[in-house]
Amino acid sequence: MKSFAALAIALLMLSVPGLAQKSVVFVTKAGAIGGYDPVAYFTDSKPVKGTAALTYNWQGADWHFASQQHLDAFKADPEKYAPQYGGYCAYGTSQGYKAPTEPDAWTVAGNKLYLNYNRKVKQTWTKDQAGYVKKADANWPEVIKQE
């Protein structure tokens, strides 16, 4: 009977908005940020697909890497390499909502990685990146609560 009650409470928590766990990292079936190696944006200056053989779980998501060196660098300092706003669209965050991202819609500025919904949105983002970063930073605490 106790296990049934525990199961019922767990199911209730998942079904009630606000009680279900919100994802702080953009995750697809391929893993965090679509399975791309976050370190590669800094070292290779391009998106590089990671491999499931080189995986590290951070913030509840599996991050994949293209090399052991990248995995080790991320493990040593994940905040340095992880994209801002959990890998959700930086422009979308500046506008107050979560949106998915594409791996080739990226920028590195101030040693921080920003991902965007697509290349067109990235163009908008780069027109006033500093202004959008301020807005996104201010919005993120509320945006992170969205499903």
- Residue 128: the pLDDT is 98
User: What's the pLDDT score for residue 22?
Assistant: 66
pLDDT at site 23: 81
Q: Are residues 58 and 106 in the same domain?
A: no
Q: Which residues pair with 32 in a beta bridge?
A: 27
pLDDT tens digits, 94-120: 999 999 999 999 999 999 999 999 999
3-state class (DSSP) for residue 103:
coil
Taking residues 124-144, what's their average pLDDT?
Answer: 98
> 5 pLDDT band (50/70/90 cuts)?
very low
Select from 79, 102, 125 the last residue of a domain.
79
66 and 93 share a domain? no
In a domain, 118, yes or no: yes
Residue 115 maps to a domain: yes
Tally of domains within the chain: 2
Mean pLDDT of all residues belonging to the chain: 89
Statement: residue 80 has pLDDT above 70: yes
Domain range for 132: 83-147
- Of the residues 40, 55, 79, which one is the last residue of a structural domain? 79
User: Is 39 among the domain residues?
Assistant: yes
| pLDDT tens string 26-49 | 999 999 999 999 999 999 999 999
Looking at the fold, whether 60 and 117 belong to one and the same domain comes out as no
* 103 and 74 assigned to the same domain: no
Q: 46-59: per-residue pLDDT in tens?
A: 999 999 999 999 99
